[in-house]
C-alpha cells in the first residue's frame, strides 16, 4: 500500500499492510522546533537549512520529507495561509531567527516580537498584545479574549469568515499535495473559534459562568458561529473537494482529572451545534471527522460518537480514566484512534528509551488491535524530548506491523 491507501483503509476499517503513522500531519501530532533540530542532527538528516516554524504559538517545526520517510509518516497537513493562533501573521517571506538558546530557525516575515524590560517577548496584533513568551521560554502564550469571554452583543456581532483568497490558497495546496505526494491529506477546518474551549480562552472563568448561567445566550452565539461555519464548509469543499481525507477540529473538553462539564450539559449545548456541521460533512463529503480533545473525557465519548466524531485524538493516557485497553474495548467498534503511543507529559519527555519502549508496547497493541489506529504520540512532541526517545517510540511501534496486518484482516472478515 502507499500512504494514502493505508490511511484510507484504516479510516474505513479495511485490512492494512502495516501500522499507519503520523508525524507532523496535524498541529497536535507535530514536534517542537528545538526537539526537531536535535532529532535531525541525531538522525544525520540535517540539511543546513534552519528549522522552519510554521506555528508560532506552539513553535512547531515543519517536518521535512526525509524525516517523514525515516519514520514512515503517511499523512500531510493542508497548510493554512495563516495558522490559527499565529497572531495575525501569515506564513511566508521566511526569515532567520533563533531561539533563546541559539537554535537557528526560520519564522514568517511578519514576526516582529517586542522585547519588554524583563526579557519577555510580546507579539502585537491590531495594536494590542496577542502573544507572550517569557524570558527563556519556547512558546508564545495567547493573550486576549475570545467572543464568549467578551460577551458580545449578538444583535450586531458576527463571527469572522474565511476570505476568498484563503479558499484559493487551499485549492492550490490541495491540488499540489494530491498530485505531488501519495499522502493522505488532513485539513483543520472547524468554526472560527472552537465552540467550547477556545471561545473562552483569555477569559475562561467568565466564559464558564456564562456557559452555566445563560444557556439561551450560548445557544444564540453557537447558532451564529455554526451558520457561518456551514457556509464556509460549503465553500471549502468546493475548493478542495475529495482531495482532503480528514477534517480535524480542536476543542478541549477535559482537564487532567475530569471533564470540564457534565455529559448532560455537553449534550444540551455543545453537541447540537457541532452535530450540525458534522452531519453536513458526512452527508456531502467523504471526509472523516477527527476531534482533538485533551483530558479525562471517557464519560463524554458516547456523546462525541453521537455528535458525529469518527476519530479521537490524542487519547491522553495520563488523564484519569483514559486507559487505552478500556477505551478500545468500550468504543473501538464505533471510534478510530489517532495518537496515544506514548505520554508526552511524562514518559516520552522524562523517561529512558527503555521506559518509552515499554509504554509503547502496552498502548499500541491495545489501540491497534483489529486496525483503527494511526500512530502518533500523545499530543505534540515537546521541546525537551530527547531524540533517542522519539526514535524509540516510532521504531518500537513498528514491531506491531505484523500484528496490525493480521488483526485488521481478521476484523474486516468478521473473525476479529
Window from 5-19, 198-212, 271-285, 340-354 with minimum mean pLDDT: 198-212
- Please state, for a pLDDT cut of 70, what percent of the chain lies above it: 99
List, in order, residues 6 or more apart from 284 with CB less than 8 Å away. 234, 237
Residue 86 scores a pLDDT above 80: no
Cα angle value 28/34/36 (rounded, 5°): 65
CA 250, CA 77: separation in Å to the nearest integer? 14
98: left (phi over 0), alpha (psi -120 to 50) or beta: beta
Closest CA to 5 of 183, 177, 241, 180: 183
* 83 band by pLDDT with thresholds 50, 70 and 90: confident
pLDDT in tens, 273-302: 999 999 999 999 999 999 999 999 999 999
pLDDT in tens, 377-416: 999 999 999 999 999 999 999 999 999 999 999 999 885 5
Closest CA to 360 of 371, 375, 350, 338: 375
Helices (H), 332-400: 347-350, 353-368, 387-397
CA 302, CA 139: separation in Å to the nearest integer? 34
List, in order, residues 6 or more apart from 133 with CB less than 8 Å away. 113, 120, 121, 122, 139, 140, 141
CA dihedral 240, 241, 246, 248 (to 10 degrees): 50
- Grid cell, residue 159, equals 463571527
Domains of the chain: 3-31+64-81+141-412 (3.20.20.210), 32-63+88-139 (no CATH)
Residues in the chain: 416
Cα angle value 191/195/200 (rounded, 5°): 120
Tell me: cis bond preceding 314? Omega within 30 of 0 counts: yes
What are the residues facing 123 on neighbouring strands?
A: 131
Question: φ, ψ for residue 276 (rounded to 5)?
Answer: -60, -45
| pLDDT score for 190 | 93
Going from the C-alpha of 283 to that of each of 32, 147, 191, 279, the distances in angstroms are 36, 30, 18, 6
The radius of gyration computed from the CA coordinates of the chain, to the nearest angstrom, equals 21
Closest CA to 53 of 24, 15, 74, 73: 24
Amino acid at each position: 500500500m502507499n500512504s494514502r491507501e493505508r490511511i484510507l483503509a484504516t479510516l474505513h476499517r479495511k485490512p492494512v499492510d502495516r501500522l499507519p503513522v503520523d508525524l507532523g500531519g496535524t498541529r497536535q501530532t507535530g514536534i517542537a522546533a528545538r526537539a526537531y533540530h536535535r532529532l535531525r542532527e541525531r538522525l544525520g538528516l540535517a540539511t543546513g537549512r534552519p528549522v522552519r516554524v510554521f506555528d508560532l504559538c506552539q513553535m512547531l517545526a515543519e517536518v521535512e520529507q526525509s524525516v517523514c520517510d525515516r519514520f514512515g509518516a503517511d499523512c500531510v497537513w493542508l497548510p493554512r495561509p495563516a495558522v490559527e493562533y499565529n497572531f495575525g501573521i501569515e506564513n511566508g517571506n521566511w526569515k532567520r531567527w533563533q531561539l533563546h538558546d541559539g537554535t537557528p530557525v526560520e519564522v514568517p516575515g511578519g514576526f516582529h516580537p517586542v522585547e519588554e524590560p524583563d526579557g519577555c517577548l510580546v507579539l502585537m496584533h491590531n495594536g494590542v498584545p496577542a502573544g507572550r513568551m517569557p524570558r527563556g521560554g519556547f512558546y508564545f502564550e495567547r493573550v486576549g479574549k475570545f467572543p464568549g469571554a467578551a460577551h458580545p452583543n449578538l444583535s450586531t456581532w458576527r463571527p469572522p469568515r474565511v476570505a476568498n483568497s484563503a479558499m484559493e490558497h487551499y485549492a492550490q495546496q490541495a491540488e499540489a499535495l494530491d498530485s505531488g505526494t501519495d499522502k493522505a491529506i488532513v485539513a483543520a477546518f472547524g468554526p472560527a473559534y472552537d465552540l467550547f474551549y477556545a471561545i473562552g480562552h483569555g477569559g475562561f472563568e467568565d466564559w464558564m459562568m456564562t456557559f452555566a448561567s445563560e444557556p439561551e445566550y450560548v445557544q444564540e452565539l453557537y447558532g451564529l458561529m455554526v451558520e457561518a461555519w456551514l457556509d464556509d464548509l460549503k465553500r471549502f469543499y468546493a475548493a478542495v473537494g475529495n482531495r482532503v481525507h480528514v477534517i480535524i477540529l480542536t476543542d478541549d473538553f477535559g482537564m487532567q482529572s475530569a471533564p470540564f462539564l457534565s455529559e448532560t450539559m455537553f449534550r444540551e449545548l455543545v453537541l447540537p451545534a457541532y452535530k450540525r456541521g458534522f452531519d453536513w460533512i458526512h452527508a456531502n463529503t467523504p471526509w472523516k471527522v477527527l476531534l482533538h480533545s485533551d483530558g479525562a473525557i471517557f464519560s463524554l465519548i458516547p456523546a462525541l460518537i453521537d455528535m458525529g466524531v469518527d476519530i479521537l485524538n490524542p487519547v491522553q493516557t495520563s488523564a484519569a480514566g483514559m486507559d487505552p485497553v478500556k477505551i478500545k474495548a468500550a468504543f473501538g467498534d464505533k471510534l478510530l484512534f489517532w495518537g496515544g503511543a506514548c505520554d508526552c507529559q511524562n514518559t516520552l519527555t522524562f523517561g529512558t528509551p527503555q521506559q518509552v519502549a515499554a509504554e509503547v508496547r502496552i498502548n499500541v497493541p491495545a489501540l491497534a488491535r483489529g486496525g483503527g489506529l494511526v500512530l502518533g504520540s500523545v499530543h505534540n512532541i515537546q521541546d525537551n524530548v530527547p531524540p533517542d526517545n522519539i526514535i524509540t517510540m516510532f521504531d518500537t511501534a513498528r514491531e506491531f506491523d505484523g500484528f496490525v496486518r493480521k488483526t485488521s484482516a481478521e476484523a474486516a472478515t468478521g473473525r476479529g
